[in-house]
Amino acid sequence: MKELLRSNDPVLMSFLDVLLSDADIPFIIVDQNMSVIEGSVGILPRRVLVLEDRLEAARRLVRDAGLDAELPRDICQ
């Protein structure tokens, strides 16, 4: 699996959950339980991982949703 993006915004993560699910793109959100370590402050970002062969489709979906700024800078071009 490859990282699509990372964020500590719970609204964005919820939106991505729906967006990717509706597009039938398999994904997982990791590091959700890190709040136990960080003290529930929400500082540590969660990562959205998708299958490598679906990564470009997921990136396109994120761009089409107007969330280009959320993608890592090295792939936004």
Query: What 3-state DSSP class applies to 56?
Result: helix
Global model pTM greater than 0.85: no
15 alpha carbon, distance to own chain's centre = 9
CATH number (domain holding residue 20): 3.30.70.790
Domain that holds residue 28: 2-75
Q: How many domains does the chain have?
A: 1
Please give the average pLDDT of every successive group of 10 residues along the chain, which has 77 residues: 92 95 96 67 84 96 94 67
What phi, psi does 24 have (nearest 5°)?
55, 40
pLDDT the model gives residue 63 = 95
